[in-house]
Amino acid sequence: MSVDEVEDLLAREFPQLHHGGRSYRVEAVGPLFARVRMEYQDRHIRPGGTISGPSMMALADLALYVAVLASIGPVPLAVTTSLTFNFLRKPGRRDMLAECRLMKLGKRLAVGEVALRSEGDSEIVCHATGTYALPQT
């Protein structure tokens, strides 16, 4: 799937993703890869002015889902079966980028890792790994 196709599927199947205004954007997709941006907005901020853990978790899960969709096609019933997070440093007060690489794409499971960075920084803020169950077609 292309960036536009993934964005259209998300808007159609998951309109709640943009409740309160759009803050997530699919920037790139490719074989076993996706990059998703989360805009720095008040709804993603925790006390101290930094991006909250739950917002980073949502971004990582979305990036993994987008990488799966981009690789297998429009299968909205692919579901998260596990996610593990390592928060490594405080994120900056700016947009956050998630880059996902699928390490395995099988018939029933997809396994990937996601690196989250503050825009403009090379340091990883959070590292996540996750598994998606793929529906039988």
Mean pLDDT of 74-101: 92
Structural domain harbouring 46? 3-133
Domain count, the chain: 1
Q: Which residue has the higher pLDDT, 113 or 15?
A: 113
Report the percent of the chain where pLDDT is more than 70. Answer: 99
Report the chain's terminal Cα–Cα distance, integer Å.
17
What is residue 53's predicted lDDT score, i.e. its pLDDT? 92
Mind listing the pLDDT tens digit for each residue in 25-53? 999 999 999 999 999 987 888 888 889 99
Q: List the CATH number of the domain containing 50.
A: 3.10.129.10
Mind listing the pLDDT tens digit for each residue in 93-123? 899 999 999 999 999 999 999 999 999 999 9
What is residue 133's predicted lDDT score, i.e. its pLDDT? 95
Burial class of residue 36 (count of CB atoms within 10 Å of its CB; 0-12, 13-18, 19+)? buried
